[in-house]
Amino acid sequence: REGEGPLWHCRMGRGRRQLPSGAALLLAFSGLAMLSHLRSIAGRGFPRLGRAAAPASSLPSSRAFSPNKAKTSPFSHLSTITRPAKSFSRCRGGRRYGDVCGRGGVAVRCLSSPSPLEGADPTQVELMREECILVDEADQVTGHASKYDTHLLKNINKGGALHRAFSVFLFDTKGRLLLQKRASEKITFPDTWTNTCCSHPLYRPEELEEGENHVGARRAACRKLDHELGISSASVNPDDLLFLTRILYKAPSDELWGEHEVDYILFCQKDLGDLDSMNPNEVSEVQYVTRDDLRSILDTRTMRMASGAVSPVKLTPWFEMIARSGLLFSWWDQLDEIVANKVNVLRLHLTDSLSNERETQALPDVEAREKIFDMGLFETVAAQ
């Protein structure tokens, strides 16, 4: 049936013939009865086609979000049946309009309130399916959840979305730090400048492995260096990345998205030459900066580009936090020692760095719970 008109039509052969009124009524009532039956089945939680219904006891208890998430998908808006909104705020399934509902294997979305992913870049939407590693504030693994679930601000505010991340700081042999500008297609923190590479270890065996100096996070970093910047493992491999410490922080991106991460800080010093294989869906620009360049960026929120033009810049909150805390400049001053002695130099100078080099500037939009921890020690980095 199309629309709300009174006529029912049946396509027979190549033509369309109007049924007699009695047959039309019989067909209509039969269709309504079938629809009612299907909806009653859906109300009892009829499983999706091709997916066996799992008993509640078999669902992972460590997962931070409702087991009902297993029956729905935030990505369904890409290929769903939609229907207009009604005057009341909740659908029959109890969800607010705009949410995606799983009913009898058919996803139904209300047109009045689009999904948070509506209009987003399809490649970036697909990446939101990746499973992040959920942890507690002691960085102990508690489960896993999609990048979508862990970055929704409403989930972050409810708690349980804390996950592992990494931040790579790659320097050339002149001591300059490579920065990247995140592409406008990015769902979180688009068009912002940040350190060389930032992303997440995924919930897979090779990236869950901790071992000596957190090899899982270093493997994940190499995967993303290749994906974002075209830096292959032949140029930078896990052994080239030095684990320094971990940062715990929380910050919003906008009214929908944010971050709550235990962020592994990884250093590397390499000469890479021209980065002509960057992924434009991830990175729009790159630039090397000196210590003085970065101090100027923090003071003026502008950057002098390679062309000589001066442009306003916005920084990611984790990068700004690490820079303004004084830790980055302290590590930068010790770069030669760090590279030569691996992480031992950090263990020798960590306390002095925290006590002597820290700045006390408040950071906007960053929760005052940033901590740095290494060797089991927790200390505040930035206070608001």
Q: Active-site residue among 198, 207, 268, 282?
A: 198
Contact 257, 365 (CB under 8 A): no
Q: Which residues pair with 114 in a beta bridge?
A: none
Distance of CA 3 to CAs 28, 84, 307, 372, Å?
14, 12, 58, 60
261 is catalytic: yes
Distance of CA 92 to CAs 60, 106, 110, Å?
28, 14, 12
3-state DSSP of 99-124: EEEEECCEEEEECCCCCCCCCCCHHH
4 is catalytic: no
Cα gap 322→368, rounded to integer Å: 13
Collapse the DSSP code of 61 into the 3-class scheme (helix H, G, I; strand E, B; otherwise coil) and give the result.
Answer: coil
Using left for φ > 0, alpha for ψ between -120 and 50, and beta otherwise, residue 383 falls in beta
Cα gap 44→281, rounded to integer Å: 42
Q: Active-site residue among 207, 228, 259, 261?
A: 261
Which amino acid type is present at position 129? R
Q: What is the largest CA-CA distance in the chain?
A: 91
Cα gap 371→50, rounded to integer Å: 45
Using CB atoms within 10 Å of the CB of residue 171, give its burial: 0 to 12 exposed, 13 to 18 middle, 19+ buried.
Answer: buried
CA proximity to 382, closest of 325, 298, 328: 325
Active site residues: 198, 261
